[in-house]
A and B are shown apart, each in its own frame.
Chain A
Amino acid sequence: MGALRRLIQTLVALGTNSYLLFPWASVIYQGPLKAVCHPGLNCYSCPGALLSCPVGAVQNFISGLRYTAPGSMPHLGAMVVGYLGFIGTLVGRLPCGWLCPFGFIQDLIHKIPSPKFNLWVPLRWVKYGVLVVMVILMPFFLLDQYGIGQPWFCKLLCPAGTMLGALPLVILKPQLWTTLGFYFWNKITILSIIVILAVLIARPFCRILCPLGAFYSLFTRMTLVQLEFNEGNCVQCRACVKVCPMGVVPHEQRDSRECIMCLKCLDACHFRALEFGLRRPLPHPREVHNPSIIQGIKNT
């Protein structure tokens, strides 16, 4: 399963960043595929990017809500919200584990040999704050002199944008150097911290800061697919806990919002205590209790 996931991550990362004409033609791809959002975090200003970034798109829709040209309808971004909500409802955070290019990059960085550490658990709540404040509230309320908001998550924080968008563009277009200021160096600092953290801790950005992961995680309790725990088969060896990159304890936390369904735990478990498949409905209470058994107990 691990090899398959690595193959899919590689194919998706390369396939969705396969515009190779940037040294000769337009510096970024400008074709019809840009009307489609990537299911993971992938900066649309990356010279190779074929698809749009969902987080950037949501922020841009929100930032334009309060400025609408006379006679035209505001763009609500319903298409992107519908698209992300549809994915989230069907598979939850599975795109984080299998499709997100920045998640894949963090996985690769974490392979660098070094002492490994666990993340302080309460930090996982920060990403919900990032989603609400930087992706929704700030683009809506902080407007410039023209009445238009800014994509503040992209501007202040996004390390994927810095790594895949800013750095390649700055190298390709040296004239951009004169326009770089506080925001660029701030993002370079954040990217450096994330890269160093990714060596020491598995997927720090996904666990602490990613607003897309936070959005998908809202649906993990009702997704079409699930990681099922068979209590009878578990011998409490904690092999699953040791391999989980997100710090989930599968036998204690059912349907964890942190689970990215990478299925490393499935590979690690030799007792078939974990299964991945379609979510089965919980049995109705009346089906659990056999009336004849209850009657027998009463008679004794």
Chain B
Amino acid sequence: MPKKAIWLVIIFTLLFVLGINTGDLDYLMNLGNTICLSCIGVG
């Protein structure tokens, strides 16, 4: 595995952990629990 890829895996893992600790999970769950009007094409 190239070194660049190892660094990317580390960076993305840190980003993932940062997201979880800044409340992205709740935000995503609220988002997913409402009907996406944009997806339907309302408006």
- Residues of A with Cβ closer than 8 Å to B? 27-28, 30, 32, 34-35, 37, 43-45, 51-52, 56-57, 60-61, 73, 75-83, 85-86, 89-90, 150-152, 154-155, 158, 161-162, 165-166, 169-170, 176, 179-181, 183-188, 219, 222-224, 278-279, 281
Contacts and interface: CB of A to CB of B under 8 A. Distances in A.
Nearest to B42: A179
B43 to A, nearest CB: 5
Contacts of A162: 39, 41
Nearest to A87: B12
A82 B9 contact: no
Contacts of A44: 31-32, 36, 39
Contact of A28 (B12, B15, B35): B35
Interface of B: 1-2, 4-5, 8-9, 11-20, 22-29, 31-33, 35-43
Given A80-B28, A180-B42, A223 B5 contact: yes
At the interface, is chain A mostly helix, strand, loop or mixed? Answer: helix
Contacts of B40: 45, 161, 165-166, 169-170, 176, 180, 184
Nearest to A162: B41
20 contacts: A27-B35, A30-B33, A32-B29, A51-B32, A60-B31, A73-B23, A75-B22, A78-B16, A79-B25, A81-B12, A82-B19, A85-B12, A89-B12, A169-B35, A169-B40, A176-B42, A185-B41, A187-B41, A222-B5, A279-B2
